[in-house]
Structure 1
Amino acid sequence: MKNLIVILICLSFFETGAKSWRLSNNPAVKAGFSTFEAAHAAAAAGDTIYVDGTGEYLSYGHAIITKKLVIIGPGYFLNENDSTQASKIYARLYSMVIESSAAGTEVYGLYFYASGTTHLTVKASNVVISRNFFFQNGYNIIYLNGNIQNVTITQNYAYQIHNNSGTASNIFVANNFIGDRIDMQNTSSGIFINNVVRYHIHTYNSVIKNNIIYGEGSSVVISESYSGNTIANNLYAGNLGSTGNSTNKANVNMSEVFVDFAGNQGYSTDGRWQLKPEGPAAGAGENGIDCGMFGGSAPYVLSGLPPVPRIYEAIVPASGSIVSGLPVIIKAKSQN
């Protein structure tokens, strides 16, 4: 009953012309497919694949996307924040490649994990990568490869973003936590706003605003020497450099910026990066908005909860009766 209700809610969210499929590698769950390859093969362009959480040491492995799909997992840090999902397990993958034939693909709520380098490689245009986790036990990287455009990377908890080949134009990177750095080719361009980044943003011909660079040291900088950038309303833990824009703030004490910068106040892994209401980042962005990943028109969403209705609590008795049936109590919320 619980599984049926989840599927019905999700089906009502998307257009009726496309099909929805359920993927689960839990043997106890009756789903359409148990492997990503099988679900991908059955889905037509424009379909949606809902990916169930996996056990701690299970994974859907390496996914290759060759057609336009919407892929939705349950999110991450599900035990750490309130009212997330009734099931607290993540949909784990080692890696994903979105081939050029899969233009328009959207990926939400997945947990990319491996003991070494994990990656999601985007080779297609008009792709959305949102509310995913790329950060544990290795260099977990979002790669932008080839001549692509109109890629949206928002509200992720990630380690690095790299444009390591080709020209990536009109790239929109906003409201992410980046635990290391962002590096782009000199032929690429985009908008980089309202991110929290540890070390640096190296890009060209781009708008770079309302970010917080929280690390310390000589490498902590938005490189004003890279040509064509508009750099404004950013906060730096280190030196400002030579940008000369008075809206940028250098040598900011990050313990005054975030509610739990040291990570010892009991906040969730992603919740600790929320701003102190009276701190130096509050209202310091362009037009008075907050800097950082929780500022702007589309703030970071705790636990990467995907933009579909979700069941966050379900009470399902083990048995019922002919008289009373099977009383099921479900609590659900919509999610923007």
Structure 2
Amino acid sequence: MNQLASFILFLVCTIATGNVHAKIWRVNNNTGVARDFAQPGNAVASASVLNGDTIHIEPSLTNYSGFSSNKRLVWIGPGYFLASGIAFEPANTGLQATALPANIDNITLAAGAEGSRFMGIYFGNFNIGASTGNIWIEKCRFSGGVIMSNAGVVYSNITIRKCFFNHNCSINAVAASPGSVSGLVIENNIFNGDIFANLSSAEFGSGGNIFRNNTCGWFRGGILYGFYVANNIFTFLNDMGNLFAVSVVKNNIFASAVQTLPGTAVGNQLGIHFNSVFIDDFVNAVGSIDHRFMLRAGSPAIGTGVTISGYTPDCGAFGGPDPYRLSGIPAVPTIYSLTVPTSIPQGQATMSVQLSTRNNN
């Protein structure tokens, strides 16, 4: 992205998210681009960046360095699966004028980061650390996973929504004290392939934990203990074992015909092969990776979720009242088309720039 395009993107986002009380800061590690900070860690460390401010992580070919945050901030990136020509990652075209993501190697949330929000960023590992919660992670992509690992920390009200997890990614609470996680909402995510989910009785005993409308591979080495598990699609063809101990399990779709379920489970469909569920058969591999998990016409996942107040949602990440959004496009206006002259005649005071924007609420 050239400097003009970067500035226009910043201007549109400023109009969308700015207010009189908080400031928007630009983080950009590209050479020759005007910015407030080159790295996100520099922004956190700055005395000028205050709780409630917004940090725009701008597109780059180079990953941003890992850092720790002890401030309540809003973090916004451009999304993912935007660039064509990347092996095994076809793009969702026409969503952003820039095809580059904003990759952050890793982040750790320290005490003081409670209330932070994250959108449209590609993370390696996301460690909630010593932050006690009230964290909102939406429309992000992960190559590592989300970790709650500080023993003795009482985590609460953590929401992970509409995210894309790469193969072998995880949501882990491996070192937290018993009963230390409550109000964890995991919904409308795509887990691409098998995931290691250590969400077990040692950590999840306080209730209010929800696992809903996700599209999943299979779980290795963990269970969903004490969760409300509804409207999900599990594509693993074999029995995943006693995954749902002490959980409420309703209206999920399982590829396995012999999945072990608690006696209280109701409304679940077993033996539903994913070739009849999704728009792509995963052999011909048509479209972007997340697009392939959309439901095909006549899918057994259509209209088979848990009915609430007369509304019966589809199962999977693209179901429910607020479904997964392709490429994790944040809910701010974006520039999806931009034409800028490569040069202008000497002495000419103006130039013509064409851009197209859309609202992504």
Same fold (TM over 0.5): yes
1:120 and 1:305 map into 2 onto residues whose CA distance is: 22
Report matched runs for 1:277-316 at 5 Å: 277-287=297-307, 288-316=312-340
Q: Partners of 2:323 and 2:261 in 1: how far apart?
A: 30
Rounded Cα–Cα distance in structure 1 between residues aligned with 2:35 and 2:148: 33
Shift of 1:29: 1.1
| Residue 217 of structure 1: aligned partner | 238
- Among 292, 298, 310, the alignment partner of 1:272 is 292
Matches of 1:232 and 1:222, distance apart in 2: 15
- Paired with 1:150 and 1:295, the residues of 2 have a C-alpha distance of 22
Counterparts of residues 52-131 of structure 1 (less than 5 Å): 52-55=58-61, 58-79=62-83, 80-113=91-124, 118-122=125-129, 123-131=131-139
For residue 5 of structure 1, what is the amino acid of its counterpart? Answer: I
Q: CA RMSD in A?
A: 1.9
What's the offset of the Cα at 1:260? Answer: 1.2
**How far 1:277 sits from its partner (Å)?**
2.2
Report the Cα distance in structure 1 between the residues aligned to 2:286 and 2:238, rounded to whole angstroms. 27
| Aligned equivalents of 1:263, 1:70: Cα separation in 2 | 39
Report the counterpart of residue 13 of structure 1 in structure 2: 16
- Whether contact under 8 Å (1:221, 1:236) holds in the other structure is no
Q: CA deviation at 1:2?
A: 3.1
C-alpha displacement at 1:267, in angstroms?
1.3
Shift of 1:323: 6.9
Q: Retained in 1: the 8 A contact 2:188–2:317? A: yes
Q: Pick one of 198, 219, 229 that aligns with 1:208.
A: 229
Number of residue pairs matched? 323
- Deviation per CA, 1:186-228: give whole Å up to 9, x if none: 242401100011113722222110001111223x25723x22x
Separation of aligned partners in 2, 1:310 and 1:221 = 44
For residues 307 and 74 of structure 1, the distance between their equivalents in structure 2, rounded to whole angstroms, comes to 10
The one of 119, 128, 132 equivalent to 2:140 is 132
SS in 1 for 2:170: strand
Give the TM-score, by structure 1 length. 0.90
TM-score normalised according to structure 2 size: 0.84
Runs ≥4 residues deviating over 4 A: 321-324
TM-fit CA distance, 1:102? 0.5
Instruction: Give the match for residue 176 of structure 1.
Output: 189
Match status 1:153 vs 2:160 = yes
Q: Would the alpha carbon gap of residues 10 and 263 (structure 1) be closer, same or farther in structure 2, given more than 3 Å must change?
A: farther
Q: Quick one: distance in 2 between partners of 1:105 and 1:242?
A: 36
**In structure 1, C-alpha distance between the alignment counterparts of 2:231 and 2:76, rounded to whole Å:** 29
**Distance in 2, Cα, partners of 1:39 & 1:185:** 36
Q: How many angstroms does 1:181 deviate by?
A: 4.1
Paired position in structure 2 for 1:255: 275
Partner of residue 231 from structure 1, selected from 241, 249, 254: 249
What's the secondary structure of 2:304's corresponding residue?
Answer: coil
**Residue 317 (1) aligns with residue 341 (2):** yes
